[in-house]
């Protein structure tokens, strides 16, 4: 007990100040941890809306994936045809196909999206029957246009990479041009086209958030609505980081699969 009496007054004050600072920092850290926990609880609570949209309504990231899938199907079918037409014997067909490819290939995706939304009809009429055209479908057609143009170039390049001997063999066998493409040329082009095709699908999926600008209720639009409904500015970065994570989880396996197929289908000239 006598030793405590030897502690100077400034030492006691320093210990007291240190204890107060320690308690304050610990309390601040605990409060921050609680706030962070509350933020991520809020983010998790909005996750079903962001991924699947409102109950009974198609929207959210599910709509992004649907748009990317349909746009890729439409773009692939039209792009392969356009790529074949770029190599057609008739000069007017080649030039027309080339012009369409270059126009849509070098046009901004957002501009094409706006044109599709404004120029395509809001409904189709079949006699007395009216069929509405949803905005997400028009947006799908708008995104399919640049995909078509780029896959047209992929197709043209793949066809050009086939050795001339294949064409000469088909001609010697008396195959028609349709038979040459369908039975000999295009089957060999598949492995050449698959890696860039998958790469374009990943790029298309990451471009689908553009549809939120034209009023489609995709994941980005619903994230924006969730932020407005919550009224909390501190959710801004966590919500968009969470959305970025979900897009990454969907697109990253596609990128890995693309690299794997590039190694598997490597074409040695």
**Residue pLDDT tens, the chain, 269 long:** 445 445 555 454 444 444 444 444 443 444 444 455 577 788 888 888 899 988 888 889 999 999 999 999 999 999 999 999 999 989 999 999 999 999 999 999 999 999 999 998 888 888 778 888 899 999 999 999 999 999 999 999 999 999 988 888 888 888 888 899 988 899 889 888 888 898 899 999 999 999 999 989 899 999 999 989 888 777 888 889 999 999 999 988 888 887 887 777 665 44
Q: Hey, how many other C-beta atoms are within 10 angstroms of the C-beta on 107?
A: 14
Q: Kindly give, in sequence order, each residue whose CB lies less than 8 Å from that of residue 87, ignoring residues fewer than 6 positions away.
A: 94, 156, 159, 160
Instruction: Please tell me the distance from the alpha carbon of residue 228 to that of residue 234, in angstroms, as a whole number.
Output: 12
Domain borders along the chain are: 55-264
* Domain 55-264: top CATH class: mainly alpha
Q: Model-level pTM?
A: 0.82
């Amino acid at each position: 007990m006598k030793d405590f009496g030897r502690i100077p007054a400034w030492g006691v004050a320093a210990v007291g100040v240190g204890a107060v600072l320690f308690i304050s920092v610990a309390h601040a850290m605990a409060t921050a941890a609680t706030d962070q926990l509350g933020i991520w609880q809020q983010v998790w609570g909005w996750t079903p809306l962001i991924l699947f949209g409102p109950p009974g309504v198609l929207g959210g990231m599910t709509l992004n994936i649907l748009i990317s899938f349909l746009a890729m199907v439409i773009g692939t079918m039209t792009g392969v045809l356009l790529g074949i037409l770029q190599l057609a014997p008739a000069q007017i067909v080649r030039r027309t196909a080339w012009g369409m490819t270059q126009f849509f290939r070098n046009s901004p995706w957002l501009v094409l999206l706006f044109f599709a939304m404004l120029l395509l009809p809001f409904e189709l009429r079949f006699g007395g029957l009216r069929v509405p055209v949803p905005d997400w479908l028009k947006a799908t057609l708008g995104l399919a246009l640049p995909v078509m143009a780029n896959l047209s170039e992929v197709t043209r390049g793949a066809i050009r990479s086939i050795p001339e001997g294949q064409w000469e063999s088909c001609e010697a066998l008396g195959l028609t041009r349709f038979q040459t493409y369908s039975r000999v040329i295009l089957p060999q082009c598949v492995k050449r086209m698959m890696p860039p095709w998958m790469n374009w699908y990943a790029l298309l999926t990451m471009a689908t958030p553009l549809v939120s600008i034209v009023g489609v209720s995709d994941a980005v639009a619903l994230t924006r609505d969730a932020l407005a409904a919550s009224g909390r500015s501190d959710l801004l970065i966590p919500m968009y980081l969470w959305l970025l994570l979900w897009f990454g989880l969907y697109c990253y396996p596609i990128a890995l699969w693309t690299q794997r197929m590039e190694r598997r289908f490597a074409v040695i000239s």
